[in-house]
């Protein structure tokens, strides 16, 4: 699959999220649980998430993933217990849009990493996936996911 890779300046975005640790096989279940917990909390306090859920991957160890799952929100919202207020930080990022099943997103990561290497950039080590629609609303082949790699401040 061909990807249009973009280098952009990202403004910080407030999020409400939950950090989880799991293996790759349990990731869908754990993400679903985290999103459900956050939605219940937001309903409890009378807030609503935007339509954009995200996951931030702090490592790519498929046996012990460290993932932050949450929603972009319009304004900072106080957390509760293991649900935290956070942000997607500002700065340069490289991204592309993946269309299709989540299990095929590896090709998007390869395309971004190849672009990063060719352009001499340094990623921060965190990878974001912004889920622009939901498998509950569209067929798997219509899923849209923005894959983003923030770049180190010395990025071109």
* Beta bridge mates, 96: 147
Q: Is 18 helix (H, G, I), strand (E, B) or coil?
A: strand
CB of 27 closer than 8 Å to CB of 68: no
**Size of the chain in residues:** 156
CA distance 55 to 53: 7
Q: pTM for the whole thing?
A: 0.93
- pLDDT for the residue numbered 136: 86
The pLDDT assigned to 1 comes to: 73
Domains parsed from the chain with CATH numbers: 6-150 (3.20.80.10)
Q: What is the pLDDT along the chain (156 residues), one digit of tens a residue?
A: 789 999 999 999 999 999 999 999 999 999 999 999 999 999 999 998 777 999 999 998 989 999 999 999 989 999 999 999 999 999 999 999 999 999 999 999 999 999 999 999 999 999 999 999 988 899 999 999 999 999 998 755
- CB contact set of 11 (below 8 Å; sequence gap of 6+): 90
Neighbours of 24 (CB within 10 A): 12
What pairs with residue 100 in β-bridges?
none
């Amino acid at each position: 699959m061909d990807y249009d890779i973009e280098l952009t300046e990202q403004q910080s975005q407030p999020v409400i999220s939950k950090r989880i640790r799991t293996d790759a096989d349990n990731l869908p279940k754990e993400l679903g649980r985290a999103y459900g917990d956050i939605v219940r909390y937001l309903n409890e306090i009378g807030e609503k998430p935007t339509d954009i859920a995200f996951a931030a991957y702090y490592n790519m160890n498929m046996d012990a993933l460290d993932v932050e799952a949450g929603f972009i929100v319009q304004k900072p919202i106080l957390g509760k217990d293991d649900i935290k207020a956070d942000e997607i930080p500002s700065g340069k990022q490289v991204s592309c849009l993946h269309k299709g099943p989540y299990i095929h997103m590896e090709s998007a990561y390869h395309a971004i990493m190849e672009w990063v290497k060719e352009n001499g950039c340094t990623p921060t080590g965190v990878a974001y996936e912004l889920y622009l629609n939901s498998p509950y609303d569209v067929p798997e082949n219509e899923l849209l996911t923005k894959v983003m790699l923030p770049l180190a401040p010395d990025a071109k």
